Amino acid sequence: MLPFSTDLHSHLIPGIDDGAVDMEESLNLLHRLQEIGYRRIVTTPHVMADSYRNSSQAIREGCRILRQAAQNQGIEMEISAAAEYYMDEELLRRVKAKDILTVGEGYLLFETSYYSHPLYLEQNVYEIAASGYRPLMAHPERYRYVREPERFYGRLRELGVVFQVNINSFGGHYGDDARKKAYWLAEKGWITFLGSDLHHRRQAEFLAESVASGLLVPILQKNDILNDTLQFSEH
């Protein structure tokens, strides 16, 4: 059984990033999430300077259309939207302009390159926090450039960063490196949120199997998971 009812990381607005390609797929994914046990969804389209330049307005409108379509299909879920911001110049521009769609009350969900340590990471995290946002790193376990977990994750925690780990990482969906880092973070008690990071059906089925297996039980015993404490916005 799913031990919480809120997901805060997914790609369900159709056609605006590498997630659901059309409304039919979006609704199928929402149905599956509902079957797994989710009742509240914050869907988070990518925002990236060199590929997905989704405006806040476009994301809000996409969420409104998705929400209406879900209601028409009898899907009883609370659906909101934020964004998953790639750490690049576009993110910093939007931070300075206060043009950020936050997860809950003030969490800014960000990601980095999977392979290269981002330049000025600490400085950018400082800018995010100084602008009044709470820096929330998406899937820290998936960054292959992290060679010294204690040093890397520990330093980010010192800077006020909290971590959202993908549930599917624990089952090995993203490979052995991500699985090991996910469990390392879990053992340290450093996970604040768990996310589906759902893009397509295969991930949904893997998620269902992972939840049913009970693998989350020991993780919740060592980590204070705050998914269900999130306040939903009108996005």
Q: Where are the domains of the chain?
A: 6-229
Q: Residue 235's pLDDT band (boundaries 50, 70, 90)?
A: low
Q: Residue 232's pLDDT band (boundaries 50, 70, 90)?
A: confident
pTM of the model: 0.97
Q: What is the mean pLDDT of residues 188-210?
A: 98
Q: Tens of pLDDT along 171-182?
A: 999 999 999 999
**What is the model's pLDDT at position 113?**
97
Q: 6-229: what fold?
A: TIM Barrel (3.20.20)
Rounded distance, CA 210 to CA 93, Å? 38
Higher pLDDT, 235 or 183: 183
Q: Is 125 within 8 Å of 135 (Cβ atoms)?
A: yes
Beta bridge partners of 6: 40
Q: What is the mean pLDDT of residues 39-67?
A: 97
Report the first-to-last Cα separation within the chain, whole angstroms: 28
Q: Is 10 within 8 Å of 19 (Cβ atoms)?
A: yes
Q: Tens of pLDDT along 18-48?
A: 999 999 999 999 999 999 999 999 999 999 9
Q: Residue 221's pLDDT band (boundaries 50, 70, 90)?
A: very high
The closest of 144, 84, 91 to 113, measured between CA atoms, is 144
Share of the chain above pLDDT 70, in %: 99
> CA–CA distance from 3 to each of 23, 24, 113 (Å)?
28, 28, 31
3-state secondary structure of 235: coil
**What is the model's pLDDT at position 234?**
64
